[in-house]
Amino acid sequence: MTVNKPWLAQYPSNVPKTIDPDQYSSLIDLYEESFSRFRLHPVSVCMGVTHTYGDVDDASQAVAAWLQAQGLPQGSVIALMMPNVPQYLPIMIGILRAGYVCTPVNPLYTGRELRHQLNDSGATAIFVVDNFAQALEQVVDETKIKHIVLSKMGDMMGLKGILVNTIIRRVKRLVPKYKLNDPKHEVTKFPDVLRRGRNLPFQKPTMVLERKAFLQYTGGTTGLSKGAILSQRNVVSAALQSEAWTRPITSEIDEVYINMVMALPLYHIFAFMLSLLAMRSGYTFILVPNPRDIPGFIKTLSKQPFHVFPAVNTLFKGLLDNPNFSNLDFSALRISQAGGMAATQQTAERWLEVTGCAMIEGWGMTEGVAAGTANIVTDRKFNGTIGLPVPSVDVIIIDEESNRVGINEAGEMCIKGPNVTLGYLNKDSSEDFTKDGYFRTGDIVSMNEQGYIRLLDRKKDMILVSGFNVYPNEIESVMLDCDGITDCAVIGIADERQGEAVKIYVIRTDANVTKDIVKDFALDNLTGYKCPRYIEFVDELPKSNVGKVLRQKLREKHLADHPQP
């Protein structure tokens, strides 16, 4: 069936209707082209230390050679558990260059969450910053991990790195004690990987676009996260789509280097997609390892001009709320890209007033390498929509019977494109697609006559906390292990700072179970953003006749108990 595409008529003249991933033989071809074109360009600046594209080329090849020397079979899965530090990109690209599959891991994961991803992905090696080695220690014996590479935050910062590592370890005490000395695991320090790898032979494997590149984990409605299989074609396509969409602005920036603020964590799909755009176009990343330190973040921004600023709404708002932010020089800022969660009109209006650069909202998902829809980058007014489908993305909107709905009618958004996954690891994904091959996003939207899409609701029960997907079933399954809790149910409630916050309704069998006990148990077993911020004890939960908790009833109860002004 032919898909009506009213959005194509809205495209700027220099944005193509489609992209061609086959111009590259592989994802590595794209990366190596960038290394050749921009070899002397700075690729990253972190804590005052600069690395060039050539540095990343050399370091990633050393990582690749070292990995191949470990005898791992082609296609092996390698985990990467790090914040935004200079070694992140060389390690990630090195894993791919060696012929392996990368699975990025949230470094804030608890042991339980980490164990599931490592086991589900089948990872046999992991690169981890020592700040998070304690979590790995708790579970490594229950996984297939055989090779552990330990890195320090400052490992690629030269003499500055020695100071950084000393402050982190001895002053701020941000490295919990750990022991990873079991002979079952080969433990190597990252500087040794680089040193040895530079003296080892490297055999470039045969690559094709259909080959797996990443296992990117997303929340699962069954309580377990799912590994979206992202092929090299998916990833290359997202890079080309992003480059094409930003062209109306980037083609006009008359600067030697375009600086992109990278405060979003690189293990998150939104930031990863932006890193693809940046590397293909020769941008420089301003790496921000800890964006929660707003004063430090602002100090970093004051040191160089910045042209592209992607962030989630909460980060934009956090910066605006600091009085020193308005003192920065915004004359170079040309693109402020909001994504990961819904942007608010209030934040968008404040951002435009302070910076003079309009906030442009878009939509994406892990399963599409974060490329999906976006507003036109030259727009000067926030319109409250998630924009138009980007090049080579088709969108249909269907009702519960899978019939296509009309203009301005609500339905589930389904997408198709070269960036969209073929499915999940270890899971039958047939129900995730329509019969004609469109991926079911679970998001309820409407489309107007021009093709602009308005997000009306999300997956029925999913909670979006500061851009991260949080699924109630996962939290409930964990919290039921807390002594004294007999039943519980989780919903998302509006939160000005985070977009949404987690609220849990608890039925307790022991009156001595307090809110503090519930909070402490959550903190010990869940990543911070998944922990309930609001706790309410109840005598019963609303359920259907088959015993399913009716979360909509709980949402209605919360609104009734806490009416909005």
**Is residue 17 in a domain?**
no
Let me know: does 400 contact 441? Beta carbons within 8 Å.
no
Residues 53 and 95 in one domain: yes
Residues 368 and 327 in one domain: yes
**Is residue 19 in a domain?**
no
- The last residue of one of the domains, among 442, 457, 472, is 457
Confidence of residue 222 (pLDDT cuts 50, 70, 90): very low
Residues 366 and 290 in one domain: yes
Judge residue 35's burial from the number of C-beta atoms within 10 Å of its C-beta, 0-12 exposed, 13-18 middle, 19 or more buried: buried
**Is residue 10 in a domain?**
no
Residues 289 and 311 in one domain: yes
- The last residue of one of the domains, among 399, 426, 457, is 457
Domain assignment of residue 556, given as a range: 463-561
Looking at residue 19, its pLDDT comes to 98
In 296-434 the beta strands, taken as DSSP E runs, fall at: 308-311, 335-338, 359-363, 373-374, 388-389, 394-398, 411-416
Distance CA 561, CA 414 (A): 35
> Using one digit for the tens of pLDDT, what is the confidence trace for 17-57?
999 999 999 999 999 999 999 999 999 999 999 999 999 99
Question: Tokens 């494997």 label which residue?
Answer: 205
Confidence of residue 339 (pLDDT cuts 50, 70, 90): confident
Looking at residue 548, its pLDDT comes to 65
**Is residue 218 in a domain?**
no
* DSSP SS3 for 539: coil
Looking at residue 312, its pLDDT comes to 85
Q: Domain with 484 in it: what CATH number?
A: 3.30.300.30
Distance CA 78, CA 96 (A): 9
Helical segments of 12-52, H only: 27-37
Q: What is the mean pLDDT of residues 268-290?
A: 93
* DSSP-derived pairing of the beta strands 411-416 and 259-262: unpaired
**Is residue 415 in a domain?**
yes
Residues 93 and 44 in one domain: yes
Residues 244 and 306 in one domain: yes
Which residues are CB-neighbours of 170 under 8 A, at least 6 positions away?
Answer: none
For the chain, the distance separating the N- and C-terminal CA atoms, rounded to the nearest angstrom, is: 47
Looking at residue 283, its pLDDT comes to 96
Q: Which helix (H) or strand (E) holds 501?
A: strand 499-508
Residues 43 and 134 in one domain: yes
**Is residue 475 in a domain?**
yes
Whether residue 374 is predicted with pLDDT greater than 50 in this model: the reply is: yes
**pTM assigned to the model:** 0.84
Residues 326 and 240 in one domain: yes
Q: Domain with 361 in it: what CATH number?
A: 3.40.50.12780
Q: What is the mean pLDDT of residues 524-538?
A: 95
Tokens of 52: 């060039």
Looking at residue 287, its pLDDT comes to 96
Looking at residue 564, its pLDDT comes to 74
Residues 347 and 443 in one domain: yes
Residue from 366, 342, 376 nearest 439 by CA = 366
Distance CA 55, CA 61 (A): 10
Which residues are CB-neighbours of 398 under 8 A, at least 6 positions away?
Answer: 404, 405, 411, 412, 414, 434
> Using one digit for the tens of pLDDT, what is the confidence trace for 144-203?
999 999 999 999 999 999 999 999 988 888 888 988 877 777 899 999 999 999 999 999
Q: Report the domain count for the chain.
A: 3
Residues 409 and 449 in one domain: yes
Residues 287 and 430 in one domain: yes
**Is residue 355 in a domain?**
yes
- The last residue of one of the domains, among 424, 442, 457, is 457
Looking at residue 516, its pLDDT comes to 96
Q: What is the mean pLDDT of residues 343-363?
A: 91
Average pLDDT, the chain: 92
Which DSSP state fits 417?
-
Q: Residue 233 — left, alpha, or beta (φ > 0 → left; ψ -120 to 50 → alpha)?
A: alpha
Q: What is the mean pLDDT of residues 431-448?
A: 92
Whether residue 477 is predicted with pLDDT greater than 90 in this model: the reply is: no
Residues 151 and 243 in one domain: no
Which residues are CB-neighbours of 245 under 8 A, at least 6 positions away?
Answer: 15, 374, 377, 390, 391
**Is residue 5 in a domain?**
no
Q: Domain with 124 in it: what CATH number?
A: 3.40.50.980
Whether residue 1 is predicted with pLDDT greater than 50 in this model: the reply is: no
- Determine phi and psi for 489, rounding to 5 degrees: -150, 145
Whether residue 305 is predicted with pLDDT greater than 60 in this model: the reply is: yes
